[in-house]
């Protein structure tokens, strides 16, 4: 009955939008030249003076191509209001494809990893608490815009219980040369279990500007983010209460949890600025002609961030306490980054950027702590001075790129090299390949950490070495044969959180394994092969989209655990409806991963840890969806984990002792409004 009501509401909303409509849809035809959008109803004479528009001097037609999204790497993406299966995969809290992730029961909680990426392009360590940071927007996640008219995007999705997820963005150009945007993400979800409420707030504001003569351009952004969640330590008695399938406990709020008095959160603010002055005045068509340019660039980034774990009283599941007070663990990181570059580009030699960088960091804990094992300082502070270099060029069908970062002075980093090529064999076939080499220290919480719990205090600044990563990667992208990617990595000095010592059977039965988790580093080399293949087959109005991933790890000790096989297969039907007023897609998604020792979750650290006690996996995830597009509005309705309706085996977990979500129906939309 509930499903019928939701389906009815879904179609009523879709039909009402198609009837009432919004503004007339923008044509998809590309204009001859969309580099600049003239002011409406105004043209300029040869002297640059405004004059009245005549009939022959019609303003340029505004199309969807005049609404552009610009990334940190200066790639330009045309706004896409279509409805595809890729949009279905990205319609989630993270707003990106979560194929390699396994979400916890509630929205905004942690995501376990089904596939790992060792090629981190972050040159410097981060604060840590990676599970809480997964929803945190980094510098490269903030986009800039150039739009013909004011543009609003609304993203809405229901959550698990008593809460909503809303992401709203507004951007406008006051002139063809200045754009500003403001956006805010608000989320709150109570969750199905008794103590797992999450909430998040992410504010960001951006601007970009260039002068009339194109000699100077500048862009920047400000972000303020707060991600918080309650922590319970997982199920207190999973065999009797969760896995038994007791009908009286299908109301998950009745299930006992290990504790109900803790929470952790990440709070951060960032000020980012990127600007460039061209020493040689570029031609107005320099983007097309790639005329010779010589410029000076500067990038500035200042960020403050802290991670905090609070608990009204200590619990045995996390060990003994140092003080007879409420638990309040807090780590603060303040960083400042400056980079100055000289940029040269020409049509034949490509683009070359060489410069110097300086990174200042201040990682602070409570105070100096003296223990039996030694003294744990309260601060890591220093400067990193390095050189930077970037190069890219296009020679016919061949694209070449390279990036070099090398530290001249400092203890956190060594180097980073990323180089590759892309060959366009034809319009429908591309080959790519490259190498990646990096050397840097692990995140700060591996090196230094303090807690009011005795077992979570360590100082590894003198004992941990730089993690060394060497990767060879390649791929083949084809509209006919599908997309294949291969990564082969060698990892030395792999840092991880794991169980130290040998917990007894009594410890495991009592759920005390979390007290044995600490920062560790593997001395032996690890090799990691990851192969991923995607291909969509279409027949008339039917389509089958397949993504398969194979992983193989060679290691002396089991410290790097991933499933050998992961697959996602979506069978769906697409068709126009209501005299083409609405486009609809409906289908079923099947996801599966093989059994493996899935990482455990440590809420005090906000981190996953390697465990070799319990295997998880080997069960399907089945989702049914109905999506529709009406003008610039995309509507989404999904029944998640559908197979739990008839399955009586309650052994689906997102981490040991943390269940995956039960069957739930959720609804949402993405709405683009053009003024």
Higher-scoring residue by pLDDT: 339, 22: 339
In 24-177 the beta strands, taken as DSSP E runs, fall at 42-44, 50-52, 68-70, 76-78, 101-103, 111-113, 144-146, 151-158, 164-175
Task: Find how far residue 396's CA is from the centre of its chain.
Answer: 33
User: Does 417 have pLDDT greater than 70?
Assistant: yes
Contact 128, 266 (CB under 8 A): no
- Interior CA angle at 221 toward 217 and 226, to 5°? 170
| Angstrom distance (rounded) from CA 440 to CA 434 | 20
String of DSSP letters for 187-198:
EEE--SSTT--E
| Angstrom distance (rounded) from CA 230 to CA 193 | 11
Count Cβ atoms within 10 A of the Cβ of residue 317 and give its class: 0-12 exposed, 13-18 middle, 19 or more buried: buried
Question: What secondary structure letter does DSSP report for 4?
Answer: H
* pLDDT tens-digit map of 218-271: 999 999 999 999 999 999 999 889 998 888 899 999 999 999 999 999 999 999
Percentage, residues of the chain above pLDDT 90: 76
Question: What secondary structure letter does DSSP report for 293?
Answer: E
* pLDDT tens-digit map of 281-322: 766 544 444 567 899 999 999 999 999 999 999 999 999 998
| Mean pLDDT across 95-109 | 95
Helix (H, G, I), strand (E, B) or coil at 318: helix
Contact 474, 433 (CB under 8 A): yes
Nearest CA-CA partner of 423 in 480, 484, 476: 476
- Spatial neighbors of 20 by CB under 8 A, at least 6 apart, are none
* pLDDT tens-digit map of 52-82: 444 444 456 888 899 999 999 999 999 999 9
| Angstrom distance (rounded) from CA 638 to CA 536 | 21
Phi, psi (deg, nearest 5) at residue 16 = -65, -35
Q: 11-14 contacts: CB < 8 A, separation 24 or more?
A: 13/635, 14/582, 14/628, 14/630, 14/635
User: Does 562 have pLDDT greater than 50?
Assistant: yes
- Give the CA-trace dihedral at 140, 146, 152, 155, to 10 degrees: -30
| Angstrom distance (rounded) from CA 374 to CA 524 | 27
Go through the domains of the chain in sequence order and give each one's CATH number.
Answer: 2-28+63-674 (2.40.170.20)
Count Cβ atoms within 10 A of the Cβ of residue 375 and give its class: 0-12 exposed, 13-18 middle, 19 or more buried: exposed
| Mean pLDDT across 156-169 | 94
Helix (H, G, I), strand (E, B) or coil at 235: strand
Helix (H, G, I), strand (E, B) or coil at 391: strand
Contact 396, 420 (CB under 8 A): no
What length does the chain have? 675
- Per-residue pLDDT at 264: 96
Contact 372, 382 (CB under 8 A): no
| Angstrom distance (rounded) from CA 160 to CA 172 | 34
Nearest CA-CA partner of 438 in 184, 168, 117, 667: 117
pTM of the model: 0.89
* pLDDT tens-digit map of 455-476: 999 999 999 999 999 999 999 9
Task: Find how far residue 476's CA is from the centre of its chain.
Answer: 24
Cα–Cα distances in Å, from 159 out to 67, 93, 278, 606?
30, 9, 48, 22
- Spatial neighbors of 645 by CB under 8 A, at least 6 apart, are 663
Phi, psi (deg, nearest 5) at residue 238 = -70, -35
SS3 of 302-333: EEEEEEEEEECCCCHHHCCECCCCCEEEEEEE
User: Does 20 have pLDDT greater than 60?
Assistant: no
- Per-residue pLDDT at 366: 82
CA quadruple 649, 654, 658, 659: dihedral sign: negative
- Half-sphere exposure in the Cβ direction for 205 (13 Å, CA): 4
């Amino acid at each position: 009955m509930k499903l019928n009501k939701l389906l009815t509401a879904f179609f009523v909303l879709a039909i009402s939008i198609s009837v009432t409509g919004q503004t007339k849809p923008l044509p998809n035809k590309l204009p001859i030249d969309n580099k600049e959008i003239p002011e409406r109803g105004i043209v300029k004479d040869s002297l640059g003076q405004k004059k009245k528009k005549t009939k022959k001097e019609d303003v340029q037609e505004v199309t969807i191509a005049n609404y552009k999204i610009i990334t940190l790497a200066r790639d330009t993406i045309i706004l896409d209001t279509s409805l595809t299966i890729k949009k279905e995969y990205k319609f989630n809290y993270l707003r990106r494809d979560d194929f390699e992730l396994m979400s916890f029961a509630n929205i905004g909680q942690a995501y376990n990893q089904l596939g790992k990426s060792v090629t981190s392009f972050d040159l410097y360590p981060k604060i840590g608490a990676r599970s809480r940071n997964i929803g945190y927007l980094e510098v490269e996640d903030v986009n800039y815009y150039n739009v013909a008219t004011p543009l609003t995007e609304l993203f809405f999705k229901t959550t698990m219980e008593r809460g909503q997820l809303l992401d709203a963005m507004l951007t406008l150009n006051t002139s063809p040369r200045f754009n500003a945007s403001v956006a805010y993400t608000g989320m709150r979800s109570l969750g199905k279990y008794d103590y797992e409420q999450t909430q998040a707030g992410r504010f960001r504001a951006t601007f970009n500007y260039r002068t009339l003569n194109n000699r100077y351009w500048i862009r920047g952004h400000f972000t303020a983010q707060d991600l918080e969640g309650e922590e319970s330590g997982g199920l207190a008695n999973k065999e009797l209460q969760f896995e038994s399938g007791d009908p009286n406990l299908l109301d998950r709020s009745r299930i006992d949890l290990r504790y109900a008095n803790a929470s952790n959160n990440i709070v951060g603010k960032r000020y980012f600025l990127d600007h460039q002055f061209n020493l040689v005045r570029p031609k107005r068509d320099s983007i097309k002609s790639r005329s010779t340019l010589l410029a000076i660039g500067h990038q500035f980034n200042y960020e403050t961030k802290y991670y905090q774990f609070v608990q009204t009283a200590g619990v045995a599941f996390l060990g003994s306490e140092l003080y007879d007070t409420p638990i309040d663990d807090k780590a603060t990181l303040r960083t400042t980054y400056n980079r100055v570059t000289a940029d040269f580009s020409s049509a034949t030699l490509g683009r070359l950027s060489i410069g110097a960088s300086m990174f200042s960091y201040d990682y602070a804990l409570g105070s100096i702590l003296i223990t039996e094992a030694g003294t744990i300082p309260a601060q890591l502070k220093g400067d990193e001075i390095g050189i930077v270099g970037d190069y890219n060029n296009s020679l016919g069908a061949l694209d070449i790129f390279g990036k070099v970062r090398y530290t001249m002075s400092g203890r956190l980093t060594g180097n980073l090299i990323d180089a590759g090529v892309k060959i366009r064999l034809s319009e429908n076939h591309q080959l790519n390949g490259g190498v990646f080499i990096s050397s840097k220290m692990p995140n700060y919480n591996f090196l230094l950490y303090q807690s009011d719990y005795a077992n979570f205090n360590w100082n590894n600044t003198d004992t941990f070495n730089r993690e060394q990563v060497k990767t060879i990667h390649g791929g083949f992208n084809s509209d006919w044969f599908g997309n294949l990617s291969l990564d082969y990595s060698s990892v030395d000095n792999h840092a991880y959180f794991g169980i130290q010592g040998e917990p007894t059977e009594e410890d495991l039965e009592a759920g005390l394994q979390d007290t044995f988790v600490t920062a560790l580093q593997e001395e032996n080399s690890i090799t990691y092969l990851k192969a991923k293949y995607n291909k969509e087959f279409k027949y008339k109005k039917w389509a089958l989209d397949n993504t398969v991933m194979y992983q193989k790890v060679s290691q002396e000790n089991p410290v790097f655990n991933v499933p050998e096989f992961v697959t996602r297969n979506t069978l769906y039907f697409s068709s126009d409806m209501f005299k083409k007023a609405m486009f609809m897609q409906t289908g079923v998604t099947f996801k599966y991963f093989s059994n493996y020792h899935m990482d455990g979750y440590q809420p005090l650290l906000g981190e996953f840890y390697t465990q070799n006690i319990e295997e998880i996996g080997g069960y399907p995830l089945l989702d049914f969806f109905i999506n529709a597009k009406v003008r610039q509005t995309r509507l989404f309705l999904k029944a998640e984990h559908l197979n739990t309706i008839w399955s009586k085996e309650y052994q689906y977990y997102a981490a040991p002792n943390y269940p995956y979500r039960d069957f739930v129906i959720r609804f949402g939309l993405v709405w683009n409004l053009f003024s």
